[in-house]
Amino acid sequence: MQRHNQGFTLIDMMITIIIIAILAVIAYPSYNNYVIKAREQNARADLVRNANKLERYYAKNNTFSGYGDTLEQGKSATFFTFAGDYQPNSYRLVATPTAANSGATREVVYDSLEGILLCENTQPQECNPY
């Protein structure tokens, strides 16, 4: 009577591991891009909230240049730093990615004249509308 051994061979296991590795190599960059875009959306929401505060300030004082409040950050506090440039009749808020936001290369910018922009850190003149 012959006995049949059932189970996986080493080749079966190697092929399975290779297939899982290929799927992981394909899926990880997509997931990382999704996470970066979600963080950019959080920064965008925080910038819009600060822009609303600036517009209220302008309605009271007829200028942006004396604005002294710190820029509020919600969910984007860990992954972006905020900075503002205030002129008498315009302003520009910039959210720059921190080291905790690994892989992010774009700044989220709210310009009172141009709206929300995405700018490459390496080439600040290369901004695209959000």
Question: Would you list the domain boundaries of the chain?
Answer: 10-129
Region of 115 (left: φ > 0; alpha: ψ -120 to 50; beta: rest) is: left
Res. 125: pLDDT tops 80? no
Stronger pLDDT, 21 or 122, i.e. the higher one: 21
* Token code pair at residue 39: 């963080």
pLDDT digits (tens, 9 = 90+) for 37-84: 999 999 999 999 999 999 999 999 999 988 888 999 998 999 999 999
Stronger pLDDT, 130 or 103, i.e. the higher one: 103
Give me the chain's average pLDDT, please. 89
Position 130 scores a pLDDT of 67
Determine the 3-state secondary structure of 79 from DSSP: coil
Fold for 10-129, please state it: Fructose-1,6-Bisphosphatase; Chain A, domain 1 (3.30.540)
